[in-house]
Amino acid sequence: MKNFLIVIISIMSLSMNIKAQEKLIINTKSSTIKWNGYYTFYFGGHEGTINFTEGYFIKTNDKITGGSFIIDMNTLVSTDIEKGKAKTNLENHLKDPDFFDVQKHPKASLIITKVKYFKDGAVRIEANLTLKSITKPINFNATMDYENKRLTTKFKIDRRRWKVNYTSKVRDGAISDAIGFDVTLQL
């Protein structure tokens, strides 16, 4: 009986090592999200940053296979307007109900559901993005830098899918439906 228990325990520990998972916490101070809002009919727009509250990757057998990231919508700031009333007005407007409705929806999240690896170190990530309590699937390419423990990506979303429905009353000032993101996740 004793030998039987030793065999069972050995098999269980071996099977656990085969699919060993590790949770890799990101450094929220070094990780960045830069956003870009564009005008529809001419070059330009607004840009800024927003911060992670927390986040982690799931590593399975030396590969990233998942992850979860929380974004604090209250940290949304504009960086293209340096200071003053225009900066405050833009930032408040982006937090209003016709954009991100930050009072009702102070957090956003991204959950990685699938990672496909390519030979050149690039990856294709499938994820669920939640904005304004609406979850929609997205996918994007990213680059893994294992030496520096960093993932970088640039992608765009169609804001209308998450009911970010602001419509400009002035044709020349109309904003694009696309919001761009330039993200660096640092361990």
Q: Where are the domains of the chain?
A: 20-186
Assign residue 68 a region (left: φ > 0; alpha: ψ between -120 and 50; beta: otherwise). beta
Look up residue 145 and give its two tokens. 């830098």
- Please choose, from the candidates 49, 40, 42, the residue with its C-alpha nearest in 3D space to the C-alpha of residue 81: 49
Residues 76 and 88: their CA atoms lie apart, in Å, by 11
DSSP three-state, residue 8: helix
Walk along the chain (187 residues) and give the pLDDT tens digit of each residue.
555 545 566 555 555 545 688 999 999 999 999 999 988 877 888 999 999 999 999 999 888 999 999 999 999 999 988 888 888 888 998 999 888 999 999 999 999 999 999 987 799 999 999 999 999 999 999 999 888 999 999 999 999 999 998 766 654 457 888 999 999 999 9
DSSP three-state, residue 113: strand
20-186 has which CATH code? Answer: 2.40.128.110
pTM across the whole model: 0.84
Q: Half-sphere exposure of residue 163, counting CA atoms within 13 Å on the CB side? A: 11
Alpha helices in 37-173 (DSSP H): 85-95
